[in-house]
A and B are shown apart, each in its own frame.
Chain A
């Protein structure tokens, strides 16, 4: 059984300018020990999908569909019922650690609270576990850090403290939303290796939400590429990178400068702007930026269809051949 199984999820927001549809019918499941990379740019709906799963949508947001966590429907549960799961069997880490840490509480108090609440541990046992976990995320002098406040730590250290907090209860599912985007590259490497270790050692199911294809390449087993609230391509990580089938996936890969290549030639940018969810074009949302678009793309939204074992894409073009 999948750890999390999301079916036909739709997320919308009421705004003064009208309803905005952020997620438009997503299906995805993650197994134990599996890492799924969710790739997309701003407005793709990649974060809101999982904010809905965590019950963390903004007040003007509504979600419809099913989110099954270990077989139990959790979409629409009240916060009391959700709190049994959140921070315990299902944790989330964010780009900004201060969204998860309380500024006026010592690191130690924040970490032990998770254990005393969810696991019924005594203060002393909880503190010992917390120190051990800080060591695991390579925080120097963990005992001293326990007595410090978040502002006394560097950004990289705060990020590792948040990860330690998310891991204390050894969750079945860890959702990491741009976990390393705000970090320096050398710290990022440490955090990513920590997450890889977690997946391999504890069999944690991992959702990695990011705009960085390099991060996905190192960690994900499967990749879902999102655009304007829809999945446009899905497949095993190797094939997504070596043989992208959707024009958007291809465009993303081509537009990235690579550190392992001498940059003489121009980058192949994707023309135009990211989608405005309030004014989506008819048919395929990527159409205005797509070099392969033809009439059908204007009239009909492409469905996500199987194209090979384990691979799906939402595009009317069967093959991406150069069009003049």
Chain B
């Protein structure tokens, strides 16, 4: 078990939604993440996929404790992070970083790129000499494909793909063990997407990085991930190694998702069978009883409404949460 870096057990993030008036109004709960468990090995990429509202971004943030989980445990190398004080958590921050879809949206446009990249480092090691910081920033810039001589430039002088390289450099500067990548290529042009995906895979190979790759794009996820977790309404539907998931998905939701992704080949795209889902996503404030997917599932029966399906093994490194996976084949 020594190679398990991260172990997430029954993690829940419930947001309070005030309803009614000041007096007598009761609080309802939006269950963004509702009992998610998985573990990630060192050096592995776990893809986390699902459509809008499935809780994938909340899950990523809750693992880093950027959002406080409501229940459950996050074990980092066997140590429970959930009980740690802010101060103790700070020490772990260095090992876990995050990159966002729009990396510069939350950054000060008046800071130079060098300062932006250095910020996590100076926060963690305030006593580091200036020259040393600059040296590390320059070397990280060239590592991620930015010209080190651009260190004193401002964000607006860069393009979309370069922004994301800045985001990657900023995450990498403290040499983390884990990076949560939250839709890191979704806003990029196709030709640039490939550059960033290649960069992340190169960095992983060089530094043994562990990646949680959160994305709605199942094609990119297939390319970059070793294992994949499928989320729907805050719950895990299926968890499997890449090839099992894409070749023999067991969950009706996973199958519908995969069948719906357009393939850039007219012959395949025009002859394939799409498994359409009926209806719309239910509200996470008032999710269906039993299996949360049942209201849109073509195979649902009474059992699915009555009982929440457990995540059960269907093969080596392949688990599915569906009462009927055996019958539907």
On A, residues with C-beta under 8 Å from B are: 41-42, 140, 154-157, 184-186, 188-190, 192-193, 211-218, 237-238, 241, 251-253, 255-263, 266-271, 273-274, 289
Contacts and interface: CB of A to CB of B under 8 A. Distances in A.
B280 A213 contact: no
A259 B198 contact: no
Interface string B173-198: 00000000000000001111111011
Contacts of A274: 159-160, 189, 191-192
Given A184-B216, A267-B194, A260 B274 contact: no
Contacts of A252: 190-191
Contacts of A253: 264
Nearest to B51: A184
Contacts, number: 138
A154 B280 contact: yes
Interface of B: 51-52, 159-162, 189-195, 197-198, 201, 216, 218-220, 222-224, 242-243, 246, 256-270, 274, 276-277, 279-281
The 3 closest A-B pairs by CB, nearest first: A214-B262, A263-B223, A269-B194
Interface core residue of A140, A260, A274 (most chain B CB under 10 Å):
A260
Contacts of B268: 217, 260
6 contacts: A185-B51, A217-B268, A251-B191, A259-B258, A259-B261, A273-B161
Contacts of B258: 259
Given A41-B191, A259-B222, A266 B267 contact: no
B198 A186 contact: no
A67 B268 CA distance: 35
A14 to B, nearest CB: 21
A262 B222 contact: yes
Contact of A188 (B243, B260, B266, B267): B260
A268 B223 CA distance: 12
Given A188-B260, A256-B219, A269 B269 contact: no
A61 to B, nearest CB: 22
Nearest to A40: B189
A135 B260 CA distance: 21
Given A267-B223, A274-B189, 13 more contacts: A41-B189, A42-B189, A186-B51, A189-B259, A189-B274, A213-B264, A241-B264, A257-B197, A258-B222, A258-B264, A259-B263, A268-B194, A273-B159
